[in-house]
Amino acid sequence: MEIVARHLLPRLHEALDGFRAVVLHGARQCGKSTLARLLAEQRGGTYASLDDEAARDAALADPHGFLLDQTHPLVVDEVQLGGDRVVRALKQIVDVDPARGRFVLTGSTNFLTVPTISESLAGRVRILRLWPLSQAELTGCPEPGVWDWTEGFEASARAPVPDGSPRSGRRACMRLVCRGGFPEIVSMSGRSRPGWFESYVETVIERDVVALGDLRRRSVLVPLVRWIAASTSSELNVHAVSSHLGVDRATMESYLDWMETVFLMHRLPAWSRRLTSRAVRRPKIHITDTGLAASLLGVGPNSLTAPTSPSAGPLFESFIVNEIVRQLSASRPADRALYYRDHDGREVDLLLESPDGAVTAVEIKATSSPRAQDLQHVAWLRDRLDAASPGDFRAGVLIHTGQTHLTVGDRLHLRPMQSLWAVSPTGNSDRQPHRSHTA
C-alpha cells in the first residue's frame, strides 16, 4: 500500500529534539498510527498501542515499568485509553529525568482536556495536531505551500494549471469536497464511502465520547453530528441547536465541546481589532472533513454542481478553510485562523494572522466566474487596517472553482482553488512528488 508523505513529520522530529515528550493528536483514522510507527522506525524506538488489550493491561498494571522498560523514543498510541494513571506516571518520569525525545503520545481525542485525565503536562510536551490528508499532501507537494501562496502574489500575474492536477471547475471541486481527506477513503469507491462514514461516526461516538464522557443524552449525539454537518461554515448558535435537539443550553455546550475534543468539528474564532464596534463575536463552526459532511447530508458531486444547491457554498468554504488550516498546522502552527463579520453585513470568510500581526484575508466562493467586486469586504478591511496599522494587511484573495488567476487591485487577487496545492506562485510546476511506500 502506498502511503502519502505527511508534512507534519519533519515537525515531529524537531519537537522530539527539543522537548521531553510530544503529543500527536487528531481525528480517528487520519493517519496518526501510521505516522507514529514511521517515526518510531526512523528514530530506532518502540511503538505500542493501548488499543491492544495486552498492552493496555500492562500499562495500567505497572505504568512506570511500561514506560521505562522499552527502547526510547517510546510511542504510546491511543494514550487516552490509559487514562490518568498513565499520564501521571509519564509526568513523574520526565520530571525526574528531563532528557529530550523520550516519549510520543498519540490520541484520537484532545485527551489533555478530558476530565478523567486531570494531570497537566504543560511545559513538558510539544503538542501537534494531525489532520486528515490535505490536497497538498495528496498531490505530492514536498512541503506545505500556503505561505508561498499568500506571500508570492506579485511574482506572477498569471500561472498555468499544472499537468496532473485536478482541473478547475465546480464539478471537479465538488468531487474533492465529497471525497475529503481520510486516508482510507481516498482510494475507496464512491458506493462504499457512505457505509464507512456511518461506521466512523458510530465508532467515534461509542468509543471516544460515550466511553470517556458522562453523557446523559447519548441519543442526541448522532443528530448533533448531522446538525454540525448541515451547519458547517455558519456561526455557532447554541440556542438554536439546543432548541432543535431538545437539550438545555448548558448540556449542549458540553456536548459541542466533546465534538471538538474528538475532532469532529473545529471553531473559527471571530477576529477584531476594534475596527468597528459592531463586529460579531460568535465563532464559526467547520466540520473537520467535508467528505464526512457530504455523506451525512446525502449529497454528492452531481447534486452539489447544481447552481441552486444550498449545500455547495458552505461545503466548499469548509473544504478550503480545512485545506489552509491543515497546511498551516504542518508549517506555521503559531499563526491563527479566524473570520470577520459585523452587523452591517460585511464578512470575510477566513483571516490568517501571524504573531507579528500580519493579516491575509481569504474570501471563498463556489463560482467559476469570479468578479473583483466579490472582494469588496476584503478591500474595506484592507483600507481600515492600512489606516489603523499600516503594513499589517498583506494580501486579500478570492478562492474560486474556475481558472481565473488575476490581480484585480491593490493587494487583491483572484485565484483558482488548486493554487493552494498544485503549483508554486511563479507558475513553476517542477516540484517533485514526495512519497514513501508500503507499511
- The CATH code of the domain that includes 28 is 3.40.50.300
Residues 271 and 415 in one domain: yes
Residue span of the structural domain in which 271 resides: 135-437
Residues 121 and 261 in one domain: no
Nearest residue to 31 (alpha-carbon basis) of 363, 289, 400: 289
Give CA separation, 398 vs 87, 196, 215, 386, in Å: 45, 33, 42, 19
Residues 162 and 99 in one domain: no
Domain boundary at 95, 129, 163, which? 129
Residues 120, 108, 14: CA angle, nearest 5 degrees: 65
Distance of CA 68 to the CA centre of its chain: 33
**For the chain, what is the domain count?**
2
Domain boundary at 78, 95, 129, which? 129
The b/e string for 218-228 (b: 16+ C-beta within 10 A; e otherwise) is eebbeebbebb
pLDDT in tens, the chain (439 residues): 467 899 999 999 999 999 999 999 999 999 999 999 999 999 999 999 999 999 999 999 999 999 999 999 999 999 988 888 998 999 999 999 989 999 999 988 887 776 666 566 777 889 899 999 999 999 888 888 675 555 545 444 334 444 434 445 788 899 999 999 999 998 888 788 999 999 999 999 988 887 777 677 788 999 999 999 999 999 999 999 999 999 999 999 999 999 999 999 999 999 987 766 566 789 999 999 999 999 999 999 999 999 899 999 999 999 999 999 999 998 887 889 999 998 888 999 999 999 999 999 999 999 999 999 999 999 999 999 999 999 999 999 999 999 888 999 999 999 999 888 864 444 443 333 333 333 3
Q: Is residue 65 within 8 Å of residue 57, measured between CB atoms?
A: no
Count other C-beta atoms under 10 Å from residue 17's C-beta.
11
Q: What per-residue confidence (pLDDT) applies to 147?
A: 58
Q: How far apart are CA 15 and CA 9, in angstroms?
A: 10
Residues 287 and 211 in one domain: yes
Residue 12, CB-side half-sphere exposure with 13 Å CA sphere:
25
Residues 197 and 265 in one domain: yes
Residues 122 and 254 in one domain: no
Residues 89 and 197 in one domain: no
Residues 67 and 16 in one domain: yes
Count other C-beta atoms under 10 Å from residue 333's C-beta.
14
Residues 93 and 158 in one domain: no
Domain boundary at 108, 129, 150, which? 129
Grid cell 442526541 in the structure block, residue = 220
Q: How far apart are CA 26 and CA 47, in angstroms?
A: 18
Residues 364 and 418 in one domain: yes
Q: What per-residue confidence (pLDDT) applies to 438?
A: 31
Q: How far apart are CA 228 and CA 222, in angstroms?
A: 10
Nearest residue to 74 (alpha-carbon basis) of 44, 119, 108: 44
Residue 400, CB-side half-sphere exposure with 13 Å CA sphere:
18
Residues 45 and 179 in one domain: no
Grid cell 499544472 in the structure block, residue = 162
| pTM > 0.85 | yes
Q: Is residue 400 within 8 Å of residue 370, measured between CB atoms?
A: yes
Q: How far apart are CA 90 and CA 73, in angstroms?
A: 13
All 3 cell numbers of residue 416? 483558482
Residues 221 and 311 in one domain: yes
Q: At what angle do helices 193-203 and 290-297 cross, to 10 degrees?
A: 100
DSSP H stretches of helix in 146-270: 146-151, 170-179, 183-186, 193-203, 211-212, 221-231, 238-245, 249-261
Q: What per-residue confidence (pLDDT) applies to 426?
A: 43
